[in-house]
Amino acid sequence: MTDDRFHVYDTTLRDGAQQEGLNLTVADKLAIARHLDGLGVGFIEGGWPGANPKDTEFFRRARTELDLKHAQLAAFGATRRAGVKAADDPLVAALRESGAPVVTLVAKSHDRHVELALRTTLQENLAMIRDTVSHLRAEGQRVFLDAEHFFDGYKSNPAYALEVLRTAAEAGASVIALCDTNGGMLPDELAEVVHEAVGTGARVGIHCHDDTGCAVANTLAAVKAGATHVQGCANGYGERSGNANLFTVVANLQLKRGFDLVPREALADMTRIAHAITEVTNVTPNSHAPYVGVSAFAHKAGLHASAIKVDPNLYQHIDPAQVGNDMRMLVSDMAGRASVELKGRELGYELSPETSRDLVDRVKDLESRGYTFEAADASFELLLRDTVAGERRRHFAVESWRVIVERTRGGELVSEATVKLHAKGERIVATGEGNGPVNALDRAVRAGLERLYPELAGVELIDFKVRILEGTHGTDAITRVLITSSDATAEWATVGVDENIIEASWQALEQAVTYGLLRAGHEAG
């Protein structure tokens, strides 16, 4: 159990699930809850039982299927409807019956919302809060209150917004989370309001949306102003522009402000957890996410690399290992000698200054012709090996290749490729059929080489990207092809560039196979 003096409260399964395009099954929710518990958050808001069958089911299954080590489950729901008793409101009953030790009630704190959206009086809204909190407290549940639109409400009628807060606290709510529901606040003005709220003596929490791009900054400002409960979502999921990214909030508070929120080993697993959650949500991870993005510690500029060579801290705000991430060097036309030296070291090669200079020149020349090495790690490694060896080394030589694309009478498009290769002293002629020219070429190469290199059976082409690049100096447009391949344990990317899309694809394919053979332990001749 985490320290009750400061709460890390996750709302991915409720507010995060309000993100456009996110649709979680009960099994997904259970899986995400386990990941969040692994991170060591204090509370996991599981959804709104009674509002939809899935959320009700989540709480039912959680009782037997979740064995949470750190977190407590919170059930989210609204205060009773106007004019009914809390005990008689079916949605309040669902909260009671959820079995969750904590209930988080959303309540109106903006006078206009009470009058226009709830269509009731300010006094009745206070009664709805008082009754629902005290009813659930009497039933043995701990109650937090999400004061919806608190900041906008405070601007409209500060006395009423603060009255909501006091009413909830007096009725037994142990935390009043001030919500920037429309996400329009900026840190300085938000901090002033939080300060006023803290002055009432109630325990204050913060719940921010990212509509101004300030959700994390606002959360930190609120903590500085006295909030002791932070809400947010994994990977910043949430309605519209999302909620405060809980991973960023936790890392900032723990690593920059000295809070002891989650176990150090769990923080060092945060990058993995963030990505594991994207696997469940099926949302492409944001590679530029602070702390946990794949690019969060990736360095492209040559000048950065030259300083990093002396001391990585010169261009990094923390050691990436603290959040389970890694430093990476990107090699591109912005690289200098230090970039390729460090990249070489990352790949297991110690490069001499001359080789580094030579490699930088080759990279810059090739990138000026449309190649991109930061997106094609395997092509860079092959280039590096060739530069070190002083010659182009491959496992097979290409005599020729040919592809025919045929539209059959039935309207089906079939591609057929023939490759003529030389490998291990043999001349090989092989054919392959596929649903497209690259697929056919891939099959033909494998058909030709698999007898000599059986490991190729385990190499797969998993992604193929084409980009047409503008021609320069009056030349025609050129095509860049990026191929991603994989074997049982890794993925790698290769690049080809030519005016002809099939030639560009062939270059990327040939390198993909070569790299796969190197990974399988075959040295190139």
Least distance from ligand ACO to the Cβ atom of residue 120, Å: 8
Would the CA dihedral through 304, 310, 316, 317 be positive or negative? negative
Q: How far apart are CA 333 and CA 300, in angstroms?
A: 9
From the list ligand ACO, ligand PYR, none, which binds 207 (C-beta under 5 to 8 Å, kind-based)? ligand PYR
- Which of residues 118 and 338 has its CB atom nearest to ligand ACO in the complex? 118
Q: Which of residues 186-215 bind ligand PYR (CB under 6 A)?
A: 207, 209
* Cα Dmax for the chain: 91
The backbone torsions φ and ψ at residue 80, rounded to the nearest 5 degrees and listed phi first, read: -60, 155
List 72, 181, 372, 484, residue binding ligand ACO (CB under 6 A): 181
- Out of 60, 61, 81, 272, the only residue in the binding site for ligand ACO (CB under 6 A) is 81
Give the one entry of ligand ACO, ligand PYR, none that residue 78 binds, where binding means its C-beta sits below a cut-off of 5 to 8 angstroms depending on kind.
ligand ACO
- Tell me the C-alpha to C-alpha distance, in Å, between residue 183 and each of 13, 40, 48, 152, 239: 19, 27, 21, 10, 10
Closest separation in Å from C-beta 105 to ligand ACO: 7
128 to 147, contacts with ligand PYR by CB under 6 A? 146
Picked from ligand ACO, ligand PYR, none, the partner binding residue 108 (CB below 5 to 8 A depending on kind) is ligand ACO
Run of H or E residues at 482: strand 478-486
Binds ligand ACO (CB under 6 A): choice among 107, 221, 246, 445? 107
Q: How many CB atoms lie within 10 A of CB 201?
A: 10
315 by DSSP, 3-state: which?
A: helix
Structure tokens at 498: 């030519």
Question: Is 121 one of the binding residues for ligand ACO (CB under 6 A)?
Answer: no
* Positions 69 through 128 that interact with ligand PYR (CB under 6 A): 106
CB atoms within 10 A of CB 138: 11
Give the C-alpha separation, 391 to 399, whole Å.
18
The single residue among 66, 114, 118, 376 that binds ligand ACO, judged by CB under 6 A, is 118
Cα→Cα distances 444→230, 397, 421, 432, 451, Å: 57, 14, 10, 4, 12
Q: Which does 81 bind (CB under 5 to 8 A by kind): ligand PYR, ligand ACO, none?
A: ligand ACO
Provide the token pair at 369.
């012709």
Per partner kind, with CB cut-offs from 5 to 8 A, the member of ligand ACO, ligand PYR, none near residue 459 is none
User: For residue 255, what are its two tokens?
Assistant: 């690593």
Cβ atoms 222, 9 nearer than 8 A: no
Binding of ligand PYR at residue 44 (CB under 6 A)? no
29 binds, among ligand ACO, ligand PYR, none (CB under 5 to 8 A by kind): none
Of residues 189, 235, 192, the one with CA closest to residue 210: 235
Pairing of the two strands 229-232 and 491-498 = unpaired
**If binding is defined by CB under 6 A, does position 78 make contact with ligand ACO?**
yes
Tell me which residues in 46-65 interact with ligand ACO (CB under 6 A).
48, 51-52
Task: Give me the phi and psi of 221, to 5 degrees please.
Answer: -65, -35
Candidate residues 174, 181, 325, 494; the one interacting with ligand PYR per rule CB under 6 A: 181
Least CB distance to ligand PYR at residue 125 (A): 15
List residues binding ligand PYR (CB under 6 A).
15, 106, 146, 148, 179, 181, 207, 209
Sites of contact with ligand ACO (CB under 6 A): 15, 48, 51-52, 78-79, 81, 106-108, 117-118, 128, 148, 181
